[in-house]
Structure 1
Amino acid sequence: MSGLTVLSDSAVHRLLIGLSKDEIIAFQASLSKCLQGFSVGTERQYQPTPGIINRPNGQKTLFRPFTSPTAVGTKIIVDPAPKSDNTKLPLQGVVALCDENGLPKGIINGGELTGYRTSLIAIIPYMWRRNTENVVVYGSGKQALWHIRLMLALRGMEIKTITVVNRSESRAREMLDKIAQENAAQWKSSATMEYLNPSGSNFEQSLKGILAEADAIFCTVPSYEPLFPAEYILNQGKRTKSPYISAIGSWQSNMIELDPALIKGIVNDAENGFHPEHGSAGAILVDDRTTILTHTGEAVKSELKLDDMVEVGKIFYLRENEPDKTQKEKLNQWLAEGLVVYKSVGVSVTDLAAGERILALAKEHNLGVHIEDF
């Protein structure tokens, strides 16, 4: 069926929320293949540079074009300016896709697509982890929501506790209520879901204890200051396990979720880090080294260098093709049990891959508005 398909946010949500575990894994595999093509294949050279516009009123707009042998297009995401009462609307946007000849084939609301794509990629290294009993999630927006949904769908039977940290208690509890209803109907995990209030009198003490026991920490906040001190992770004398930490909330050089001391402590200290390619102490796992270097506060404030980072697409390659058996074992042990920090700003071709997959699902389920002659 040719022509243009238009998908609303609610239509995209219906498609994604109903996917089975096997369907989610297949979706994730398509994104993994895309990342590998970007990092060790030839696709990087064919991706235009993304653009960011900051207006004086506080509005931020991301323009992210992409190409492939079979499609071209772009994503536009807007972080709205604060309202007069200082409230913030969520990120909004659109993904537009054409075929290789430039014929329009899809216009997709970018909200659910971006939340799902970003969360599903952040979950990739999490799937390599050996243990996931205790999880901490920072945030209560669409990204946090999809992170938790995907964790429950993919590893819900292994999770014992999920702790949500968010400044707005009402938003956090609203999200947890929604997830509890969805979990009861779909994934049926026995995980306990709790809220930790940053305004509480014992917050720092409670947070330090929770992070000491965390197997995974997911940060989804567009923050301008670190969410927790590096010492809560690096200097836990009684820590018996190291967590997987994902940070997807900061996407400009003045935004930051992770303490620069945490980044430095990993790349400069062999006791805390591991580097799968070089003899240096440790590496940060990223999706796009070049963009991370200049577009995130974590990289700018910790003075990261390109060689301090390894792209997740390269990790896929090394897991299959590392010739040194001992090094391969060390790599897999680090990914399974070591202190792994993943920092993401998004890779344009994954928006394309996600958009094409969603269009295929829409065709299969007869969803969206189709225009034959556009």
Structure 2
Amino acid sequence: MNNIQFLSDESVHQLLINLIKDEAITFRNAMEQTFEDFSAAGERQYQPDPSSATRPNCQQTLFRPFTSDSTAGTKLVVESAPNPDCKRNPLHGVLILLDGQGNPTGVLSAEEVTGYRTSMNAMGPFSWRKLGFEVKTITFVNPSKERVDKLIETVSDIDCVFCTTPSQKPLFPASYLIEGSISSRQPFVSAIGSWQPDMIELDPAMLHHAVIAESGYNLSSGEAQGAVLVDDQH
């Protein structure tokens, strides 16, 4: 227990926000390798299934265990019961890390780690498109109707869309991107908010269009077709 370390959200934030470019790329590459190991290299069979527990007051506790040949651990996150105004407080939780012998090695507050993990998930395939310094503007859209309407007005002139919502219905119809695009290159779309089976952010027609598109590039086959990347095929 003498070697165990605790990192608060503030400490994690300071460590990650101050990464220089090469360090951020190394971090991203490690995330890519993790996803490849999980999805295509056999690690999935050694990962316990995630689970959750919901209490009568709608407080939800999420359990996310994980293993490797040298470490094991779990993420424990609590989504509080709704306030009287029906809003919820931010999710809070911890990451608990063990070495291969089961000795505790670290405890990290989960909020900041989750935020960076989520964004790094999307940065792998995003970087493959070699946009890099082409990025000129970033538009953040929250659930307000005014901002959504404004996004729809400009959706035909974008290269990337990042969705991070627990929506239970598609956020917009596929036609907004398929029929409205003024570029021969279809936009990169990342949907990483749907972490439960009843959640869906993208119109299924968009996924169908992606795999039949003739102007894309399929990484696995090398053919001029689009591709849909998932972290778990099960």
Task: Provide the TM-score with structure 1 as the length reference.
Answer: 0.57
Which residue of 193, 199, 214 maps to 1:255? 199
Residue 94 in structure 1 maps to residue 89 in structure 2: no
- State the Cα distance separating 1:276 from its structure 2 match: 4.7
Partner of 2:199, secondary structure, is coil
Structure 1 position 75, deviation (Å): 0.8
Q: 1:276 to 1:24 in 2, by over 3 A?
A: closer
CA contact (8 A) 1:49 1:65 kept: yes
**Residues 117 and 237 of structure 1, relative CA distance in 2, 3 Å threshold:** closer
SS in structure 2 at match of 1:161? coil
Deviations 1:202-225 (A, max 9, x none): x54x43342211111111122222
Structure 1 unaligned runs (5+)?
132-154, 169-197, 291-374
Counterpart residue number, 1:48: 48
Please, which of 193, 199, 210 is the counterpart of residue 146 of structure 2? 199
SS across alignment from 2:94 = strand
Name stretches of at least 5 consecutive residues in structure 2 with no aligned partner: none
Distance in structure 2 (CA, Å) of the matches to 1:240 and 1:18:
37
TM-fit CA distance, 1:83: 1.0
Q: Any idea what SS the aligned residue of 1:29 has?
A: helix
Identity %: 47
Counterpart pick for 2:179 among 235, 240, 246:
235
CA contact (8 A) 1:217 1:243 kept: yes
Q: CA RMSD in A?
A: 2.4
Name the CA distance, whole Å, in 2 between partners of 1:249 and 1:34. 19
Greater relative CO (CA pairs within 8 A, separation 6+):
1
Q: Which has the higher helix share?
A: 1
The aligned length equals 232
Q: Counterpart of 1:76 in structure 2: which amino acid?
A: L
Query: Which of 200, 224, 227 pairs up with 2:168?
Result: 224
Q: What is the CA–CA distance in structure 1 between the aligned matches of 2:75 and 2:181, rounded to whole Å?
A: 45
The answer as to whether partners of 1:234 and 1:272 remain within 8 angstroms in 2 is no
Shift of 1:63: 1.0
Deviation at 1:36, TM superposition (A): 2.3
Range that drifts further, 6-15 or 46-55: 46-55
**Is the CA contact (8 Å cut-off) linking 1:61 and 1:78 kept in structure 2?**
yes
Conserved 8 A contact 1:213-1:241: no
SS at match of 1:162: coil
TM-score (norm 2): 0.88
Q: Which residue of 2 aligns with 1:4?
A: 4
Question: Partner amino acid for 2:190?
Answer: S
